[in-house]
Amino acid sequence: MNATLHREIPAAVLNAEQALAQVTAQWDGDIVQQLTDYIAIPAKSPMFDADWAQHGHIDAVVRNAAGWVEAQKVPGLKLEIVRLPGRTPVIFFEIAATRAHSTQTVLMYGHLDKQPEFSGWRSDLGPWTPKYEDGKLYGRGGADDGYAVYASIAAVQALKTQGVEHPRIVGLIETCEESGSYDLLPYVDALRTRLGEVALVVCLDSGAGNYDQLWLTTSLRGNAAGVLKVEVLTEGVHSGDASGLVPSSFRIMRQLLDRLEDSATGRLLPQSFHCEIPADRLAQAQATAAILGDELYKRFPWAHYDCGGATNFTLPTTTDPLEALLNRTWRPTLSVTGADGLPAFKDAGNVLRPYTAFKLSLRLPPLVEASAAVRELKALLEDNAPYQAKVTFEGNGGATGWNAPSSTPWFENALNAASQNFFGAPCGTIGQGGTIPLMGQLSQGFPKAQMMVCGVLGPKSNAHGPNEFLHVPYAKKLTAAVAQVIASVPG
């Protein structure tokens, strides 16, 4: 254990050593098993399971989590499962303040819905077959983001055990995040008066640059997604008979994507999809690049990569650490995440296909407004179609990114103290390439609140992909760090 845990701590201030011992025991004795059970339930987000209500998996994980929270008998805690008609449910809990005359509220956020299975899992692993190995709990959703509600309650219990006074605490655990949180805003509106005066948001749905220190997320990219479809025929025809006369829907698709992206570099061509990087974020990225170095790109499972200096290997878009950070946090990027109209190899005859459809995911810089990007994307792709083909772009919605408010002195000091206490290193700052739609909404609704956006998704944890894992030793320290930061909220 780090020597900083043994320093003298004033009365009524969280004892770091005791807090870490308590949350460690709770993770080992209960939380890992709860998450093992959670991973086994295929609670896919509504975007990936249109019949989620009939299947009952989302309801099951909500009931299980709510039952566990209530079983902890946290003094002053009240919990309810809130359901609005036609929407996925949320868990809402509140814990009365123990600090005299406190008017502040801490809001704790997480989600229980999951991404779909994906392929490529290790032969002894699977999305719904949890396995605990070498401190890592493998399976879909444990790290993204099933652990959040359990860690939140464990952090509060650490405060209660030591009698550390705290402000009022509320929890909001949703089940639509992986679909863009389209169900969440109505709940926020319905619960707004019960949320109170939020001084601190604790969001445990983000990532970590390494497992050696606490990491604060300072920005999130947005997302504009949709399906681009190119139709040239009403049915497939013999490729020998028609090719050369009938234009290939795939070739037209390539032309359309060339309007959007430079295929040689990956740079998005419309300038409106870019933004100026704020000076403070650039300075933070420079500091983080110095900490993480080439691990920023070595962390990914390259198909052909040799760190030993071989000349024949797959190269990342850049090996410059600063550029690597900026590319994945402050610059727009296009990904094709799905395709339709392309038969499997075993079904692929000599046929000129009638259409090609791609599912597009456009990651947007934090300061670019998503709805405007979706409109521009539709116009750019549909107008003046080559060969007058039928081209449609159906947006799946968009989520604007987020740039964190400036940290106040108390918040910055609390983060660094917690990171030193539990990791023996100062808190790091990092932008994330993913999207948490709630954060922008909360920043607008509670402009004075500090945002502790952090998480366990560190190197190789592979959220959304195969072999996703939760790094349990890191999660234990993060849980204790959350308790210390909550104890530090002023007022």
Domain boundary among 399, 423, 442: 399
Confidence of residue 35 (pLDDT cuts 50, 70, 90): very high
pLDDT digits (tens, 9 = 90+) for 356-396: 999 999 999 999 999 999 999 999 999 999 999 999 999 98
Q: What's residue 341's pLDDT?
A: 97
pLDDT at 10 over 60: no
Indicate if the pLDDT at residue 305 is higher than 70.
no
CB contact at 8 A, 378 and 414: no
pLDDT for 257? 98
**Model pTM?**
0.89
Q: Would residue 294 count as lying in a domain?
A: no
- The pLDDT value recorded for residue 303 is 85
- Please give the angle made by the CA atoms of 462, 464 and 465, to the nearest 5 degrees: 60
Report the Cα–Cα distance between both ends of the chain, in Å, rounded: 32
Q: Which domain holds residue 262?
A: 222-275+330-399
Structural domain tally of the chain? Answer: 2
| One domain for residues 359 and 413 | no
End-of-domain residue from the set 351, 371, 399:
399
Same domain flag for 271 and 358: yes
Share of the chain above pLDDT 90, in %: 88
Has residue 113 been placed in a domain? yes
Same domain membership, residue 85 and residue 211: yes
Residues 6+ apart with CB under 8 A from 81: 62, 63, 66, 89, 90, 91, 92
> Could you tell me if residue 285 is inside a domain?
no
Tens-place pLDDT, residues 425-455? 999 999 999 988 889 888 888 888 999 999 9
- CB contact burial 432-463 (16+ within 10 A = b; e otherwise): bbbbbbbbbbbbeebeebbbbbbbbbbbebbb
